[in-house]
Structure 1
Amino acid sequence: MNAAAVPEASHPASELASGPASSKKGQILAWASWDWGSAAFNAIMTTFVFTVYLTSSAFGGEDAASAALGAALAVAGLAIALLAPVTGQRSDAGGRRKLWLGVNTAATAVLTALCFFVFPQPGFLLLGVCLIALANIFFEFAGVNYNAMLAQISTPKNIGKVSGFGWGMGYLGGIVALLLVLQLFVQPSFEWFGASTEESLNIRLVAIFSALWFFIFALPVLFAVPEVSVKKDSASLGFIASYKLLLRRIAAIYRTSPHTIYFLLSSAIFRDGLAAVFTFGGVIAAGTFGFELKEVIFFAIFGNVVAAVGAIIGGFLDDKIGPKAVIVLSLVGLLIAGTFILVLGNGNYVFFGTSWPAANTFWIFGLLLCLFVGPAQSSSRAFLARLAPDGESGELFGLYATTGRAVSFLAPTLFTLCITIAAPIVEEGGAQRWGILGIMVVLLAGLLVILPVKPPSKTQIAVVPDH
């Protein structure tokens, strides 16, 4: 049978029409608590603290350690790309979405805690990169089920707001967790055993802190949100049969709703650009604009606050003007802010007799970048949740993860390529700024691809029988 096209007020037949329970504030708070907790893994373990420790000279040299980490994460990315859609599909079909969210979250927390045993010696490098890579796999699998729950706890009228609230909680949770880690472990404000730097005890204890933070704040959603119902006869599908069903469903989606496929492709491109804004933001702040480490940390904190505010505001706009409009406006805003950083980032200027340091340019327009990142991420998730047929959100968000992984090389490659091309042309030390152009190219490509995509109210997805 087919999910018929319907007006935006009601959307395709999906879990959004899930009755009064979907609007309960308690479920939304419990769901967003997972986002708050997961920020410890994203911000602390994979971005600012533990991977920095893992790629330090203590593990046999920064270059070799970085290459090992990159290779492990590449393998993890391949595993996620291959397995995410089927794991989402099977959790949908078997009525075990919440169960697998809990299992994958617990696995991520355990693997994170085991990073405590990664001592600062070259012989522990393999253990460290393997633990981080495995944790990434389980974290992404948990994210598929978590994102699929958005349709369960929201309605067509508030789905954008709920998605934005979740992203905002994630950003704010990352700030609080980072501040605690800085005060307790990295730059402790008082003496205690966890402040000891002997054998990097303080950094290894960060892994225990992150695991507990994630696990504790993930618990509410497992109690507050009900499990999805079992799809008749679907749970009996074998693993190979699940892939065959997946291929049939992708073909059916392309036949009946090609714009869903176009959205998956366009969102994969611009989400890679969004990720690069945070990935390379600190690098550009330090290398191009001369920020000290303390200033980079302060900027990261302010940037996360602004991104959280942007995500929440974008969520309200999403419900008013639709997710596609929010995404397009956000991408345009990102391109404008990036252009100012690129053009004004090559020196100090004088405006109306007043000196304008280049650092001010980054503070203003860098924070504007953060403001637009949140709404684009939030509305991208809400866009897909509006499209998912009843009981198939997990599978669709699995495809969302797969397409994202498939193009995750774009922004880093273009960032590096632009710097390489600029190096022999510009003055020494000025090439890094041109890496911004590579990120902007990716964002522009995502914008151009999403422009012809029809919004959720004008799409329909075929529901393919399991047998």
Structure 2
Amino acid sequence: MDLMQVQDKSRYLAPGVSRREVWSWAMFDFANSGYTTVVITAIFNAYFVAVVANNEAWGTFAWTAALAVSYALIMVTAPVIGAYADAYAMKKPLLLISTIGCVLFTALLYFVGPGDLMLAVVLIVLSNFFFSSGTNLISAFLPELAHGEALGKVSGWGWSFGYVGGLISLGLSLAYVTWAQGQGRPAEQFVPGAMLITAGLFAISSIPTFLFLKERALPQPHPAERHVAREAFGRLLVTFHHVRDFRDLVRFLACIVFYQAGIQTVITLAAIYAQQVMGFDTGDTMFLVLVVNITASIGAFAFGHIQDRIGHIPTIALTLGGWIVMVLLAWMAVTRPVFWLAANVAGLCLGASQSAGRALIGYLSPDARRAEFFGLWGLAVNLSSILGPITYGIVSWISGGDHRLAMLITGSYFIIGLMILMSIDIQRGRQAALNISPPGERLTGNR
């Protein structure tokens, strides 16, 4: 899908923002989506359980625990990194560091073979840490690129384009895996090659972002004797002190923790569920995820326009209803067609809910503290990334591998998220963001 073919896009963009710059911003979504698609969702997670952990009963729990460690690290660092990026206008340099880190540690997954549990865990923790840090930073550019009433559209363009990148990365990996399987090679001989493909595509596709995306933020006033870490923590403490001024943002962050717990469970364990419950092999699973990426791209693009038309809350509520339907279909599925239907419902809801959530955070964030508030968004998402998959892993372990029960329990997170969502007042939250003082002044807001 060509992002630049939609008519009159310029009226959605902030003054001074070119179409090329929006494209370069969206190219980062294109670039990093291969990591989620290939490493976390389609290939390496199932490889970890089946080959690295030798299909032991604790394999799924070990995978979710490794991810939980990485998300815990991100939770601790994301708001501080965001506060530092705002104070010193350093979003772009930090984004470059996170990209190099993710590409490097993804490429090193090439060396993980049967029984290399500790190596696999360390590399997954590091690669996922850098990936998630980069996701928070690139998202903080969104409010600089689009008008407030068009955040849903522009976020949707980026997320939709991102799924195209995931499709290409997975498609190249699928072609390689199909060829390798045709040569009679086992998984330990072809899965590592897919890691190199993913890392290489990430590195190449992110180049336009660093060439054309501008750092519009300006460094803010600092103490004469500056202590970078202390100042970043200080800004964060001020935000927490005034958190009552942003009660609707806080409610949405709580909502995110729960509904993203369900989403992150599906992303993290989709391939494992497909293979352990539905009997899919590696090729079947990769083809399934490839098709789901198409529906996810359509969902992100379409719902981005719907969001700006019907509103943020109704759009997210609609997607959460879809997620609940998806969980019930997956839980009941005994035939592949029903499971395929569930997977594609998940795809539509995945693209829509991810894009809509990012746009709403941008709508509720003060101009002077965008990276910091997107860091808080990252904190919420990563807390959910611990809560959901760990719950699934524990349930499947305790129940002796009952993945259907674990999937059914996952649905409760979407229900809780929907209940919290209904308590949010969008206009009050937007007004709180607009009442923030100019950069460098003390944080103030509605009482």
Partner of 1:373: 350
The yes-or-no answer on 1:28 pairing with 2:18 is no
Q: Give the whole-Å Cα distance in 1 for the aligned partners of 2:282 and 2:186.
A: 23
- Within 5 A, what are the aligned runs for 1:335-354? 335-342=324-331, 344-345=332-333
Aligned residue type for 1:391: A
The 3 A distance-change label for structure 1 pair 289 and 188 is: closer
Correspondence for 2:4 = none
Take 1:68 and 1:364, find their aligned partners in 2: how far apart are those partners?
A: 29
CA RMSD, Structure 1 to Structure 2 (Å): 3.2
Radius of gyration: which is bigger? 1
In structure 1, how many angstroms separate the alpha carbons of the residues matched to 2:184 and 2:31?
26
CA distance in 2, matches of 1:287, 1:263: 34
Q: 1:317 to 1:64 in 2, by over 3 A?
A: closer
| Residue matched to 1:203 | 191
Corresponding residue for residue 213 of structure 1: 201
2:232 is the alignment partner of 1:242: yes
Identity %: 25
Contact 2:40 2:267 in 1 (8 A): no
Query: Is the counterpart of residue 120 in structure 1 residue 109 in structure 2?
Result: no
Q: Is the 8 A contact 2:299 2:351 kept in 1?
A: yes
Task: Give the structure 2 partner of residue 278 of structure 1.
Answer: 267
Structure 2, unmatched stretches of 5+, are 1-10, 443-447
The code of the aligned residue for 1:45 comes to: V
Q: Is the 8 A contact 2:324 2:415 kept in 1?
A: yes
Q: Which amino acid aligns with 1:223?
A: L
Counterparts of 2:354 and 2:395, CA distance in 1: 25
1:383·1:456 contact (CA, 8 Å) conserved in 2?
no
- Aligned partner (choices 152, 158, 165) of residue 144 of structure 2: 152
Q: 1:421 to 1:83 in 2, by over 3 A?
A: closer
One-letter amino acid of the counterpart of residue 225, structure 1: L
* C-alpha deviation, 1:229, in angstroms: 3.1
Q: CA deviation at 1:444?
A: 0.3
Aligned partner of 1:178 among 170, 173, 177: 170
Q: 2:99 aligns to what?
A: 105
What are the equivalent positions in structure 2 for 1:156-171 lying under 5 Å apart? 156-171=148-163
Unaligned runs of at least 5 residues, structure 1 = 1-15, 348-357, 424-428
Q: Does residue 436 of structure 2 align to residue 448 of structure 1?
A: no
- Residues 1:395 and 2:387 are matched in the alignment: no
Count of aligned pairs: 426
**1 CA distance for matches of 2:227 and 2:12?**
27
The residue identity in structure 1 corresponding to 2:28 is: W
Shift of 1:248: 1.4
Q: Does 1:436 align with 2:424?
A: no
Whether the 8 Å contact between 2:395 and 2:406 is mirrored in structure 1 is yes
Give 1:165 shift. Answer: 1.5
Tell me which moved more, 169-178 or 72-81. 72-81
Cα distance in 1 for partners of 2:52, 2:253 equals: 41
2:293 to 304, 318, 321: 304
Q: Could you tell which deviates more after superposition, 101-110 or 439-448?
A: 101-110
Counterpart selection for 1:255 from 239, 244, 259: 244
Show CA shifts across 1:14-70 (max 9, x none): xx9984223x22112111111111122112223322344444445777567766655
Correspondence for 1:269 among 242, 254, 258:
258
Q: Distance in 1 between matches of 2:157 and 2:138?
A: 14
Taking the aligned partners of 1:38 and 1:317, their CA distance within structure 2 comes to: 25
Distance 1:199 1:177 in 2: 18
Aligned AA (1:104): S
- Work out whether residues 31 and 201 of structure 2, in 8 Å CA contact, stay in contact via their aligned partners in 1: yes
Q: 1:79 to 1:178 in 2, by over 3 A?
A: same
Distance 1:373 1:18 in 2: 25
Q: Please report the TM-score for the alignment, with normalisation by the length of structure 1.
A: 0.81
Cα distance change, pair 18–85 in 1 and its aligned pair in 2 (3 A): farther
Q: What is the distance in 2 between the residues matched to 1:58 and 1:274? A: 25
Work out the CA distance in 2 between the residues paired with 1:375 and 1:246. Answer: 30
Report the alpha carbon displacement of residue 417 of structure 1 after superposing the two structures with TM.
6.8
Distance 1:339 1:68 in 2: 26
Query: Could you tell me which amino acid in structure 1 is paired with residue 105 of structure 2?
Result: L
